[in-house]
Every structure is written in structure tokens, then in C-alpha cells.
Amino acid sequence: MLPPRSGFENSKARLKAFSLLGLKPNDRQPEPLVTEFTMPELPEVETTLRGIAPHVTGRTILECVFRTVKLRWPLDPALCRLLPGQKIQKVERRAKYLLLLCEKGTIIIHLGMSGSLRIVPAGTTERKHDHVDLIFTDGQCLRLTDPRKFGAFIYTDIDPYRHKLLHNLGPEPLTDAFSGDDLYAAAKGRRLAIKQFIMEQKTVVGVGNIYANEALFRAGIRPDRAAGRVGANRYETLVYTIKEILREAIDVGGTTINDFSQVDGKPGYFTQQLQVYGRSGEPCVVCGQPIHNQRLGQRSTFFCPTCQH
């Protein structure tokens, strides 16, 4: 077993990245590499859902406060009049969207690249990137923090599942709607690399870069293999490993990374075992050969050329 990892902290991949960029290891980690570690993926969003649900379900909104005009999209000032008085009846997740179902409509939240939600007592002094507060009549506050402002906080009064952001999404990976048979059928004739195929939101939602790398390693499939050239049995295995790895990540609270924080405000850290991601040049945990790293569709791709084919 490998020790728990903390991203690139001590990896050869990190040292190599530094030398390529002409930096010394003590210099700040280069930005493009950090980005992939900070993005909340499906397990983080599910963890957030489970963390906030007991604190917001059944609560009535007293006040909605915006401290910026725009995240990914403009924040609608009308919500500060529309939301107070409404009770949150239910909290759901679809892909990486959190849905706060209120009496007259639904708040749709996306954490973007660096967003997080916390429950704090109303009136808690805000910090620099705390952009939205939903204050409840019980004195608690749901606070959205988002340093990079790629997140979303929008409202719809139609069925949220028919909203343009949600209605074209593929199946949820942790439901029976995501099966080996369907994946195999959808891949027929596709020349796209399988890793890119499983990261397409129409194929299945919420399989981000870290989990795509790890699931393909466990399934023994090379990430650059054409999606249409993978057999039905191997798709069965891949669906199993995707579900397995997402469940494991959710169980340990998501691979909470860099500026993603747990709902209770403690800084996050890696607790899940990563077998290939970020391990370029390090020995494969199965065969001992070095892990390869290449870009595939602009994303870092890690695999063992011996174990994956």
C-alpha cells in the first residue's frame, strides 16, 4: 500500500514539471497543474450535498445576500426579493449541479473550478471570496465561496430537470441507468479515445479527469484506445470500476483538495488512494514499470503501458 497522497507535493511528476518550467522545487506550484487538483468533482459535490442537506432542508430563507455581481453568470438581484420567505423543501444533485428545491422554484448551484459551500452562523464575518449568503430564519447561513468565480448560483421556476443546463445530460454514474451494455452501444463506431468518451457529459455525467484516469487503470484499459474498439465485457468492467471509485471517493468525503473545504470548514486533504493520477515516472502498483503521462484532449493522462491495453 502507498501512503496517502497529497497531490503533487512530493512526486517526481511535480519535480519534472518544475524543471520543465525552469522553477526550483521550492517555488510556487505552476498554476496549470494546480487547476486539475482544485476542481470539485462529483464526489465532492455529493459530499457537499450530504453535508448541507440536514442544515437547509425544511429551513425558510430570511435573506439572500450577493457580494459580487457575477460568477460564471450574473447574479440576479431579483432573487434577493424572490427567495426570502420560501422554504427549501429538498436538496438534490444532478451531475455536478446542486438543486435547492424551494416552494416556488429551484436554486441551481454549481461549484465551478474552486467553489465550496459551508454552513456558518448568520453574521459570521465574510472573507474575500465569500460571494453569496443564504440566511435562514433559524440563524444559520449557507455561504458560497468561490475564488475563481466559475461557479453558478441561478434560479428557475420550471422543472429544474428540464432546465437547459440539465436536460441534455447523460445518465448518473451511480444509478442502474449507467450500464456496460448501454456504454458499449453508445461507443459503437466511435474513434474518440475512451478516456475522452467517458468524460463526455452525454456519455455519463461527473466522471472527471482524476476518476477517469483511475477507473481506466483499474479496468486495464489504455486511455487512448478508440472507444469503438473496446469489447462489451471490458465496458462491463469499466462501468464497475467507475462506480467503485466514485463510491470510494464519496465514502472518504471526496478527494477534498487545496481550496475545497469540508462543510464544517476544515481544510480538505487527499484521503483516497490514487494509483496512477499524478504518479508520472513512479512505479506501477501492479507491475513496477513507470507510469506514463501524456496529454489527451488537453488533460493530463496517466497510465501503465504494461497493465493497460
Residues 6+ apart with CB under 8 A from 189: 228
* Under rule CB under 5 A, residue 305 binds Zn ion: no
Whole-number Å distance between alpha carbons of 96 and 92: 10
The one among 15, 33, 49, 286 contacting Zn ion by CB under 5 A: 286
Residue nearest to Zn ion (CB): 284
* Under rule CB under 5 A, residue 306 binds Zn ion: yes
The region of 39-47, 142-150, 164-172, 280-288 touching Zn ion under the rule CB under 5 A is 280-288
The region of 88-96, 173-181, 182-190, 276-284 touching Zn ion under the rule CB under 5 A is 276-284
Could you count the other beta carbons within 10 Å of the beta carbon of residue 103?
11
Cβ at position 287, least distance to Zn ion in Å: 3
* Under rule CB under 5 A, residue 152 binds Zn ion: no
The region of 94-102, 233-241, 251-259, 285-293 touching Zn ion under the rule CB under 5 A is 285-293
- Residue 3 catalytic? no
* Under rule CB under 5 A, residue 239 binds Zn ion: no
> Do 189 and 279 contact (CB within 8 A), yes or no?
no
Give the residue with the Cβ less far from Zn ion, 39 or 238.
Answer: 238
Give the residue with the Cβ less far from Zn ion, 260 or 302.
Answer: 302
Give the residue with the Cβ less far from Zn ion, 53 or 285.
Answer: 285
Whole-number Å distance between alpha carbons of 169 and 167: 6
Choice among 5, 94, 96, 234 that is catalytic:
96
- Residue 41 catalytic? yes
- Using CB atoms within 10 A of its CB, is residue 34 exposed (0-12), middle (13-18) or buried (19+)? middle
- Residue 70 catalytic? no
Beta bridge partners of 226: 193
Cβ at position 286, least distance to Zn ion in Å: 4
Give the rounded distance of the alpha carbon of 191 from its chain centre: 26
Give the residue with the Cβ less far from Zn ion, 294 or 306.
Answer: 306
Whole-number Å distance between alpha carbons of 168 and 201: 8
Q: Of 94, 98, 88, 106, give the one whose Cα is nearest residue 151.
A: 98
The one among 284, 293, 296, 300 contacting Zn ion by CB under 5 A: 284
- Give the pairing of strands 106-110 and 97-102: antiparallel
One-letter amino acid of 17: A
- The CA-atom distances, in angstroms, between 288 and each of 53, 137, 194, 283, 304 are 43, 57, 24, 4, 9
The region of 93-101, 224-232, 263-271, 279-287 touching Zn ion under the rule CB under 5 A is 279-287
Q: Which residues are part of the catalytic machinery?
A: 40-41, 96, 299
> Which residues make up the interface to Zn ion (CB under 5 A)?
284, 286-287, 304, 306-307
